[in-house]
């Protein structure tokens, strides 16, 4: 077997480790125990609305979104997105410094193969709510897909960010309720220039595997105070984009990105007029 064939076979084997066993919920059962132990997870169908494609248009860059609306009298403190069969299942975690009655997010992710998707929300009374769906893919294994950006350009622009506020945040239906009804939340998009190497991708020239390097955290402050911290994973797409709801009264934003190599970049933007 040639060197290229051996490398390709190894990449395929590593990637295939993330493919699901359709006949069981073993992956989710294990993840749930590791994350929450014996804590009860309540049916979140009236709390969480998930927006995911029936089949991914692009396995390496799929937009997944969710809207969470806390039960009356409570607020949302933390939201976790899990792609059960991805190599790193806990794909994105949003921790709110100031819990909110509702929270929307969307994020561009790699979906390695057909997988259940779970969104777990924790409310300020300590209860956990979970909702799920299933996402089909082409089955090509996005985790090992070659980078789409020239390596030199990727390094030269790594950490550059752009922030835009694009009007009202989407109002997904949660349990028959319009999530943003009666609220004034805007949508903020954060675009990050980063190769998001999974550790399973092969350099097309050297045929060596590219070391893992991805966006580890994105801290977002509004008006000089903490708002939300997103913890990332290798599931983040190349040059990931993160959208989220922010209070409409916000007048400035500071974004700090840290990657797994210790690179830190910062962006400040005034939002006057929104």
pLDDT 10s digits, 176-197: 776 665 466 899 999 999 999 8
CA distances (Å), origin 217, targets 156, 161, 182, 239, 264:
20, 13, 31, 14, 10
Dihedral angle, C-alpha 87, 172, 102, 160, nearest 10 °: 50
Residue 34: which residues within 8 A CB-CB, separation 6 or more? none
- Confidence bin at 209 (pLDDT 50/70/90): confident
Mean pLDDT of all residues in 49-72: 95
Q: How far is CA 138 from the centre of its chain?
A: 20
In the prediction, which pLDDT does 183 show?
60
Q: Given a cut of 50, is residue 17 above it in pLDDT?
A: no
Residue 156 CB neighbours (<10 A): 10
Distance separating alpha carbons of residues 228 and 92, to the nearest angstrom: 12
Q: What is the tens place of the pLDDT at every residue in 235-247? A: 999 999 999 999 9
Token pair belonging to 155: 């390094």
| Contact (CB, 8 A) for 45 and 231 | no
Q: What three-state secondary structure class fits 115? A: strand
Instruction: Please provide the size of the chain in residues.
Output: 274
Domain spanning 3-270, CATH class: mainly beta
Element (H, E) at 6: helix 3-16
Domain ranges for the chain, please list them: 3-270
């Amino acid at each position: 077997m040639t060197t290229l064939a051996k490398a390709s076979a190894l990449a395929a084997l590593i990637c295939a480790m993330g493919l699901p066993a359709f006949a069981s919920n073993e992956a989710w059962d294990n993840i749930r125990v590791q994350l929450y132990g014996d804590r009860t997870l309540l049916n979140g169908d009236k709390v969480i609305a998930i927006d995911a494609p029936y089949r991914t248009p692009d396995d390496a860059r799929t937009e997944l979104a969710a809207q969470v609306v806390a039960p009356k009298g409570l607020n949302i403190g933390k939201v976790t997105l899990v792609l059960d069969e991805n190599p790193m299942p806990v794909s994105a975690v949003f921790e709110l410094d100031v819990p909110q009655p509702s929270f929307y997010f969307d994020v561009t992710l790699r979906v390695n193969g057909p997988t259940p998707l779970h969104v777990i929300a924790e409310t300020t009374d300590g209860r956990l709510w979970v909702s799920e769906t299933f996402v089909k893919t082409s089955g090509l294994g996005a985790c090992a897909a070659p980078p789409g950006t020239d390596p030199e350009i990727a390094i030269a622009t790594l950490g550059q960010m752009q922030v835009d506020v694009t009007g009202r945040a989407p109002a997904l239906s949660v349990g028959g309720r319009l999530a943003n009804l009666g609220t004034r939340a805007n949508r903020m998009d954060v675009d990050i220039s980063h190769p998001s190497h999974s550790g399973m991708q092969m350099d097309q020239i050297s045929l060596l595997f590219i070391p893992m390097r991805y966006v580890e955290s994105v801290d977002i402050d509004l008006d000089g105070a903490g708002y939300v911290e997103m913890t990332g994973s290798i599931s983040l797409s190349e040059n990931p984009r993160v959208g989220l709801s922010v209070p409409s009264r916000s007048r400035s934003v500071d974004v700090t990105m840290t990657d797994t190599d210790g690179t830190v970049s910062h962006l400040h933007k005034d939002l006057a007029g929104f």
